[in-house]
Amino acid sequence: MKKKTKTTFLLSLTALAAMLLFFLIAPHFLRHDPYATSLSQAFLPSGQDGYVLGTDQVGRCIFCRIIAGGQETIFAALIVVAVVLVFGSLLGMIAGYSGGITDSVITKITTIFQAFPSFVLAVAIAGILGPGKGNGMIAMILVYWTTYTRYARSLVLNLKDETYVRAAGMCGAGRMGILIRYILPNMIPPLLVTAALDIGNVVLSMAGLSYLGLGGARPTAEWGAMMSESRRFLQTEPQLILIPGIALLIMVLLFNVCSDSARNYLDKRGTLRH
């Protein structure tokens, strides 16, 4: 069973790494400009005139826009998750280890943010800030940091009562030394698994914002925006929505399968604490 879990983790990690590498290097080898328009070549079918997946309503190459949009989506989501992981975990560590009024203030602020449905709050923030990729990322950061703050706080509260942590304190280790040397290393694996799980959620949320016109501004090749632009052609040219939708589905599935297998693998090794 352990070998099967490891194999599943390695296979999913390889597939995810291959996807990330593909979206990283593929834009440099595109045959067509994903932003070049030509009304005379609108709605070309797949394979005609060198367009692998055909063209959209203004003659842009769908395949090239999927590749460019994948790069935009993946790396924007990675930046968002990296920021909330560091910022949220730091606040959670401070709250859990300091206790007292510091813990109370941080916990109350976190509770206020979590009182609203995450996507609804993201839409509200993005609506206030205005459309744009940067504002969409800020909205995602302001929504997702609370997850890591609460989780990091709970991990610190559990770990600081461990025997080895108390022993380190009795031996003269300082508070900062205990936090960094003994508590933080045991927090990293579960926090990283949570971050990996959140990437898929962030990708979906950012696509949702773009679909509503609150994410990347036109003509940005973003999958949610591509689907939004093609809504009126759903009955006559359904592939304009189906192709970016399938790409979004595959990406989210890969991230979720990889993170889930990573959690199972780390649990088998006894690394994660609950």
Residue 1: pLDDT band (50, 70, 90) is: low
- Count of beta carbons in the 10 Å neighbourhood of residue 88: 25
Contact (Cβ atoms closer than 8 angstroms) between residue 159 and residue 165:
yes
Evaluate if residue 272 carries a pLDDT over 90.
no
Q: Contact 9/264 with Cβ under 8 angstroms?
A: yes
pLDDT value of position 43? 87
Q: How far is CA 258 from the centre of its chain?
A: 13
In the structure encoding, which two tokens stand for residue 168, read together?
């380190």
**Angstrom distance (rounded) from CA 219 to CA 222:** 8
Instruction: Say what the pTM is.
Output: 0.84
Q: How far apart are CA 113 and CA 96, in angstroms?
A: 18
Contact between 138 and 125 under an 8 Å Cβ cutoff? The reply is yes
Would you say residue 156 has pLDDT above 80?
yes
Length of the chain measured in residues:
274
The string of DSSP letters for 57-86 reads TTS-BHHHHHHHHHHHHHHHHHHHHHHHHH
Kindly indicate the confidence band of residue 274, based on its pLDDT and cuts at 50, 70 and 90.
very low
Measured distance CA(246)–CA(228) in Å, rounded = 14
Q: What percent of the chain has pLDDT over 70?
A: 92
Q: Does residue 56 surpass a pLDDT of 50?
A: yes
CA distance 83 to 63: 30
Q: How far apart are CA 49 and CA 74, in angstroms?
A: 29
Using one digit for the tens of pLDDT, what is the confidence trace for 182-210? 788 888 888 888 888 888 889 888 888 88
For the chain, give the mean pLDDT: 84
Contacts of residues 136-141 at CB distance under 8 Å and 24 or more positions apart, as own/partner, are 136/76, 136/206, 136/209, 136/210, 136/214, 136/215, 136/216, 137/76, 137/79, 137/80, 137/206, 139/209, 139/214, 140/80, 140/84, 140/202, 140/205, 140/206, 141/80, 141/83, 141/84, 141/87
- Are 80 and 138 in contact, with CB atoms under 8 Å apart? no
pLDDT tens-digit map of 125-143: 988 988 888 888 999 999 9
Q: What is the average per-residue pLDDT within 115-119?
A: 87
Residue 268 has pLDDT above 90, yes or no: no
Spell 6-23 as b/e; 16+ CB within 10 A means b: eebbeebbeebeebbeeb
